[in-house]
């Protein structure tokens, strides 16, 4: 079969390119996930910090959190603005829930893990240097809780704000469809590159294939003219085959001459 | 050389043949092999660039929704403050400290490039951060129906500022807040992608070379070496050696034709000898017998014939086989490259155990793969066993990219070693 070597090389190249497409898809999916998580968390942290300022400003005026009823409305407005926010909770230093957007409303205290995360927060001066240092994170089933500490003017911790959000639950169907489309696009590109590489292999191997076919024909035909078999452009084994053919012809000639001589001696007597 | 010498080829005769065939191997076949390998590597690298560029673009397009949502969230927070001022009757032109207020938003996240307050006609009233030229140069026109703005690599969604309590559709916006968030991936995320993609491409480049080298060795270099060795032997008058090598395509047919022509020459000599013996048997005169003997001696001078119509196999060099084995060993190590997710777990084990967990499974399963392949080769074609081994090794490579625990690394290294062993055995047999 002409181009047998090129075909084998093309198959190998295509297999490796398909692997490349799969690996590229995996890495891109991981990077996209990281970027989305980072953007989403940044957005939620901004919301938390905004709410924190709105709660802490009245605290400086001497108002207690229990008396700021307008906060419930603000929390609900923020929670309604983003479909990925599951709930926003405001609680005091003992973990008692003061305001919450949680529709079920069956809790009156926040989970123990939130309080532990709140107590593990760095000092206000240290947290003020970087926004992300002032936020605690607690993973939850199907999502994550982010929170900030609420402090009064004396720097004393009076409670906390927590925002629970889903992790890629909303729009998962769309995400899966987009991931599939991207994977198919990458696979199609890899296959195209494999075919282009195969064309290159075929073009590179074609002179050798033609030359080898012509030389094989010359070797198979004992009656061919001496120079006919190496008349093609010598890019392959023409030189070796020409030498081989010349040596074989010499041997054939010597054999034929000797046979004729023996026949002559035999016939003469 | 004797008339009917049937001893195997002498090592002194084989040495120049090997040197000559090695020289030939460095010639046209080496040139073509290098070109083919170069083409394959270039195809892989170009494909990696293409896939990377297209994939990154697609990912950045998919991120646009998240970027826009961030712009809206930050913009809404700022707009609420301006709405308070608007409700108090303070015109925007008389507001003080707006730049500092906007700067607080731009300093919140490095992805936020700028924040600006635009009047109802889309002209910039106050701004902070590095404002894009299109915005700094006089504004962006009416923003009434603009869902998203692409501004100098940033994506911004205008958020309308309306007096508190005003209906959204009935009251025209008094101003707009525009917060530009870096569109697409951050520089850190791009670096992470480039690092991982480079490691994957390097691993695949080694894998590609490890697969192509044996293919080229079987289909190009070894036939070329056999052809050159055959030509050198026949030119020396050694007709007792031939090659039994089978190769795909026209090069294989050329080898078969050379083998056939040599067999035809040998058959001619055998026929001549038989006729000479027959002629001798029919004569009793010593001068005639001497004459026939002299003719036979002259005919066979400088030629060595095979004992029967068959011939001794031509010795071929095994340098290419060693190179293939070396590449396969490199492949074994390359299989580790995508296993970056398992690095933390391996670090926890400590250096001696981590090295043992990575190396021992491969060293144990490689001989097992060779043994299994030996059995398989009794019933299956070499190509089939090689392909199966290569596919198993490739599956292990792919799996390592997903492995994040020591047990998974050990299992995949065992699988990789088994695949390598299966793939190596047919090469050694060839």
DSSP string, B43-63: HHHHHHHHHHHHHHHHHHHHH
Q: What is the pLDDT of residue A258?
A: 93
pLDDT digits (tens, 9 = 90+) for B278-290: 888 888 888 888 9
Query: CB of B293 within 8 Å of any CB in chain A?
Result: no
- List beta partners, residue A96: A109
**Cβ count within 10 A of residue A40:** 20
CA pair distance B270, A107, nearest whole angstrom: 105
What's the whole-number mean pLDDT along residues A42-69? 82
CA pair distance A224, A215, nearest whole angstrom: 11
Share above pLDDT 90 across residues of chain B, in percent, rounded to a whole number: 12
Distances (CA, A) of B24 to B28, B267, B347: 7, 29, 50
Q: What is the pLDDT of residue A228?
A: 46
What's the whole-number mean pLDDT along residues B69-88? 84
Residues of A in contact with B259 (CB under 8 A): none
More confident residue, B366 or B316: B366
More confident residue, B176 or B24: B176
The torsion defined by the Cα of A18, A24, A26 and A27, in degrees rounded to 10, comes to 160
CB B208 within 8 A of CB A16: yes
What's the whole-number mean pLDDT along residues B20-35? 72
What residue has token string 């010598």?
A234
Share above pLDDT 70 across residues of chain B, in percent, rounded to a whole number: 82
For the ranges A39-53, A104-118, A239-253, B195-209, the lowest mean pLDDT is seen at A104-118
Q: What is the pLDDT of residue A202?
A: 92
Q: What is the pLDDT of residue B48?
A: 94
Q: From the list B189, B271, B292, which residue is nearest A34 (CB)?
A: B189
Residue B339: DSSP 8-state: G
Q: What is the pLDDT of residue B5?
A: 35
Q: Contact B73/A47, CB-based, under 8 Å? A: yes
Q: From the list A46, A251, A257, which residue is nearest B303 (CB)?
A: A251
What's the whole-number mean pLDDT along residues A24-48? 86
Query: CB of B39 within 8 Å of any CB in chain A?
Result: yes
pLDDT classification of B25: cutoffs 50, 70, 90? very low
Alpha helices, DSSP H, located in B282-350: 286-300, 319-334, 343-349
For the ranges B169-183, B244-258, B362-376, B399-413, the lowest mean pLDDT is seen at B169-183
CA pair distance A262, B296, nearest whole angstrom: 8
Closest B-chain CA to A79? B73
For the ranges A10-24, A201-215, B281-295, B374-388, the lowest mean pLDDT is seen at B374-388
Residues of A in contact with B220 (CB under 8 A): 5
Q: What is the pLDDT of residue A171?
A: 55
The residue extents of the domains of chain A are 4-170, 201-268
Inform me whether the pLDDT recorded for B420 exceeds 80. yes
- List beta partners, residue B161: B175
Q: What is the pLDDT of residue A129?
A: 60
Residues of A in contact with B196 (CB under 8 A): 27, 30-31
Q: What is the pLDDT of residue B430?
A: 45
Residues of B in contact with A43 (CB under 8 A): 66, 69-70, 73-74
φ/ψ of A16, rounded to 5, equals -70, -35
pLDDT classification of B390: cutoffs 50, 70, 90? confident
Dihedral of alpha carbons A4, A5, A9, A10, sign = negative
Closest A-chain CA to B69? A43
Closest B-chain CA to A259? B272
Q: What is the pLDDT of residue B166?
A: 57
Nearest to B194 by CA among B372, B35, B48: B48
What's the whole-number mean pLDDT along residues A47-76? 81
Q: Which domains does chain B have, with CATH numbers?
A: 55-189 (3.30.450.20), 335-430 (no CATH)
Inform me whether the pLDDT recorded for A257 exceeds 80. yes
Closest B-chain CA to A221? B261
Inform me whether the pLDDT recorded for A223 exceeds 80. no
CB A101 within 8 A of CB A187: no
pLDDT digits (tens, 9 = 90+) for B109-144: 888 888 888 887 778 888 888 887 777 776 666 666
Which tokens belong to A45?
């942290």
Q: Contact A244/B62, CB-based, under 8 Å? A: no
Inform me whether the pLDDT recorded for A117 exceeds 90. no
CB A218 within 8 A of CB A249: no
Q: Contact B295/A15, CB-based, under 8 Å? A: no
Region of B122 on the Ramachandran plot (φ > 0 left; ψ -120 to 50 alpha; else beta) = left
For the ranges A68-77, A135-144, B327-336, the lowest mean pLDDT is seen at B327-336
Q: Contact B397/A237, CB-based, under 8 Å? A: no
Inform me whether the pLDDT recorded for B372 exceeds 50. yes
φ/ψ of B241, rounded to 5, equals -110, 145
Q: Which of A124-128, A177-181, A225-229 has the highest mean pLDDT?
A: A177-181
Q: From the list B239, B296, B298, which residue is nearest A251 (CB)?
A: B239
Q: Contact A47/B248, CB-based, under 8 Å? A: no
Inform me whether the pLDDT recorded for B2 exceeds 90. no
More confident residue, A205 or B11: A205
What's the whole-number mean pLDDT along residues B2-22? 44
More confident residue, B206 or B16: B206
Q: Contact A219/B253, CB-based, under 8 Å? A: no
Burial label, A5 (beta-carbon count in 10 A; 0-12, 13-18, 19+) = buried
Q: What is the pLDDT of residue A196?
A: 93
pLDDT classification of A2: cutoffs 50, 70, 90? low
Residue B341: DSSP 8-state: G
CATH number listed for the domain at residues A4-170? 3.30.450.20
Q: What is the pLDDT of residue B204?
A: 84
Residues of A in contact with B272 (CB under 8 A): 255, 258-259, 262
What's the whole-number mean pLDDT along residues A4-33? 88
Q: Which of A10-14, A55-59, B426-430 has the highest mean pLDDT?
A: A10-14
Q: What is the pLDDT of residue B185?
A: 86
Nearest to B299 by CA among A262, A266, A268, A265: A262
Q: What is the pLDDT of residue B302?
A: 86
For B118, the enclosing helix (H) or strand (E) is strand B112-119
CA pair distance A57, A77, nearest whole angstrom: 19
The whole-chain average pLDDT of chain B stands at: 80
pLDDT classification of B359: cutoffs 50, 70, 90? confident
What's the whole-number mean pLDDT along residues A177-195? 87
Q: Contact A252/B265, CB-based, under 8 Å? A: yes
Q: Contact B62/A28, CB-based, under 8 Å? A: no
Distance from the B166 Cα atom to the nearest Cα atom in chain A, whole angstroms: 16
For the ranges A230-234, B219-223, B301-305, B391-395, the lowest mean pLDDT is seen at A230-234
Distance from the B9 Cα atom to the nearest Cα atom in chain A, whole angstroms: 19
For the ranges A71-80, A223-232, A255-264, B163-172, the lowest mean pLDDT is seen at A223-232
pTM of structure: 0.70
Q: Contact A32/B63, CB-based, under 8 Å? A: yes
Inform me whether the pLDDT recorded for A101 exceeds 80. yes
CB B356 within 8 A of CB B224: no
Residues of A in contact with B46 (CB under 8 A): 193
Q: Contact A265/B292, CB-based, under 8 Å? A: yes
- Label each residue of chain A as H, E or C: CCCHHHHHHHHHHHHHHHHHHHHHHHHHHHHHHHHHHHHHHHHHHHHHHHHHHHHHHHHHCCCCHHHCCHHHHHHHHHHHHCCCEEEEEEEECCCEEEEECCCCCCCCECCHHHHHHHHCCCCHHHHHHCHHHHEEEEEECCEEEEEEEEECCCCCEEEEEEEEEECCCCCHHHHHHHHHHHHHHHHHHHHHHHHHHHHHHHHHHHHHHHHHHHHHHHHHCCCCCCCHHHCCCCCCCHHHHHHHHHHHHHHHHHHHHHHHHHHHHHHHC
Distance from the A99 Cα atom to the nearest Cα atom in chain B, whole angstroms: 20
For the ranges A212-221, B219-228, B237-246, B419-428, the lowest mean pLDDT is seen at B419-428
For B16, the enclosing helix (H) or strand (E) is helix B11-24
Q: Contact A193/B235, CB-based, under 8 Å? A: no
CB B114 within 8 A of CB B106: yes
The whole-chain average pLDDT of chain A stands at: 81
**Chain A interface test: which of B181, B249, B264, B384 (most A C-beta within 10 Å):** B249
CB B302 within 8 A of CB B237: yes
CA pair distance A125, B116, nearest whole angstrom: 30
Residues of A in contact with B252 (CB under 8 A): 4
Q: Work out the angle at residue A48's Cα, subtended by the Cα atoms of residues A43 and A50, and round it to the nearest 5 degrees.
A: 95
Inform me whether the pLDDT recorded for B333 exceeds 70. no
Helix, strand or coil for residue B133? Answer: helix
Inform me whether the pLDDT recorded for A151 exceeds 50. yes
For chains A and B, CB pairs below 8 A equal 288
What residue has token string 């994939």?
B55
What's the whole-number mean pLDDT along residues B56-71? 88
Q: What is the pLDDT of residue B167?
A: 56
Q: What is the pLDDT of residue B26?
A: 52
Distance from the A213 Cα atom to the nearest Cα atom in chain B, whole angstroms: 5
For the ranges A187-191, B148-152, B254-258, the lowest mean pLDDT is seen at B148-152
Q: What is the pLDDT of residue B189?
A: 85
Residues of B in contact with A245 (CB under 8 A): 261
For the ranges A93-97, A165-169, B179-183, B187-191, the lowest mean pLDDT is seen at A165-169
Distance from the A183 Cα atom to the nearest Cα atom in chain B, whole angstroms: 9
Q: Contact A208/B253, CB-based, under 8 Å? A: no
Closest A-chain CA to B340? A27
Residues of B in contact with A209 (CB under 8 A): 249-251
Q: Contact A35/B185, CB-based, under 8 Å? A: yes
pLDDT digits (tens, 9 = 90+) for B295-329: 999 988 888 888 765 667 777 766 666 666 666 66
């Amino acid at each position: 079969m002409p181009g047998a070597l090129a075909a084998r090389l093309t198959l190998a190249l295509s297999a490796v390119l398909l692997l490349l497409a799969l690996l590229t898809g995996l890495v891109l999916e991981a990077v996209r996930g990281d970027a989305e998580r980072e953007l989403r968390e940044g957005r939620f942290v901004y919301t938390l910090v905004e709410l924190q300022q709105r709660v802490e400003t009245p605290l400086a005026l001497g108002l207690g959190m229990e008396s700021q009823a307008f906060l419930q409305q603000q929390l609900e407005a923020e929670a309604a603005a983003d479909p990925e926010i599951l709930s926003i909770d405001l609680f005091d230093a003992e973990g008692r829930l003061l305001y919450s957007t949680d529709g079920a409303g069956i809790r009156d205290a926040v989970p123990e893990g939130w309080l532990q995360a709140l107590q593990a927060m760095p000092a206000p001066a240290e947290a003020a240097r970087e926004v992300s240092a002032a936020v605690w994170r607690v993973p939850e089933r199907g999502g994550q809780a982010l929170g900030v500490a609420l402090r009064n003017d004396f720097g004393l911790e009076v409670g906390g704000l927590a925002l629970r959000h889903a992790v890629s639950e909303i729009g998962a169907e769309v995400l899966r469809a987009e991931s599939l489309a991207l994977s198919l696009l990458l696979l199609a590109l890899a296959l195209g590159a494999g075919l282009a590489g195969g064309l290159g292999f075929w073009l590179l191997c074609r002179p050798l294939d033609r030359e080898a076919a012509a030389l094989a024909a010359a070797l198979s035909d004992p009656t061919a003219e001496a120079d006919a078999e190496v008349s093609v452009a010598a890019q392959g084994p023409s030189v070796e085959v020409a030498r081989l053919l010349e040596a074989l012809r010499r041997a054939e000639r010597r054999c034929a001459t000797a046979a004729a001589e023996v026949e002559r001696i035999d016939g003469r007597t | 050389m004797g008339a009917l010498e049937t001893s195997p080829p002498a090592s002194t005769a084989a040495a120049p043949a090997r040197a000559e065939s090695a020289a030939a191997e460095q010639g046209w076949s080496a040139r073509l092999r290098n070109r083919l390998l170069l083409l394959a590597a270039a195809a892989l690298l170009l494909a990696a660039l293409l896939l990377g560029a297209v994939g990154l673009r697609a990912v950045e397009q998919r991120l646009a929704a998240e970027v826009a949502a961030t712009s809206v969230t930050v913009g809404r927070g700022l707009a609420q403050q301006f709405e308070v001022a608007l409700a108090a009757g303070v015109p925007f032109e008389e507001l003080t400290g707006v730049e500092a207020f906007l700067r607080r938003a731009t300093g919140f996240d490095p992805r936020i490039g700028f924040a600006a307050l635009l009047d109802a006609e889309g002209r910039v009233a106050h701004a902070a951060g590095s404002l894009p030229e299109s915005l700094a140069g006089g504004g962006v026109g009416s923003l009434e129906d603009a869902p998203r703005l692409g501004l100098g690599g940033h994506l911004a969604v205008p958020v309308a500022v309306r007096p508190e309590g005003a209906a959204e559709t009935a009251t025209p916006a008094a101003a707009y807040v525009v917060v530009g968030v870096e569109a697409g991936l951050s520089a850190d995320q791009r670096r992470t992608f480039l690092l991982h993609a480079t490691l994957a491409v390097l691993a695949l480049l080694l894998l590609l070379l490890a697969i192509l080298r044996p293919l080229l060795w079987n289909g190009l270099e070894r036939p070329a070496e056999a052809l050159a060795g055959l030509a050198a032997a026949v030119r020396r008058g050694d007709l007792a050696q031939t090659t039994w090598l089978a190769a795909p395509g026209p090069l294989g047919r050329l080898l078969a034709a050379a083998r056939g022509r040599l067999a035809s020459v040998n058959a001619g000599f055998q026929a001549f000898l038989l006729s000479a013996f027959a002629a001798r048997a029919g004569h009793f005169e010593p001068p005639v017998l001497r004459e026939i003997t002299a003719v036979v001696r002259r005919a066979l001078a400088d030629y060595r014939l095979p004992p029967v119509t068959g011939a001794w196999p031509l010795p071929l060099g095994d340098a290419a086989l060693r190179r293939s084995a070396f590449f396969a060993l490199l492949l074994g190590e390359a299989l580790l490259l995508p296993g970056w997710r398992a690095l933390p777990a391996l670090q926890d084990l400590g250096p001696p155990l981590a090295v043992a967990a990575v190396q021992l499974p491969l060293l144990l399963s490689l001989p097992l793969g060779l043994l299994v392949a030996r059995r398989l080769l009794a019933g299956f074609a070499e190509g089939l066993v090689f392909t199966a081994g290569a596919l198993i090794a490739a599956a292990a490579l792919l799996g390592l990219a997903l492995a994040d625990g020591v047990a998974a690394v050990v299992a995949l290294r065992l699988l990789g070693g088994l695949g390598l062993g299966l793939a190596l055995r047919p090469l050694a047999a060839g």
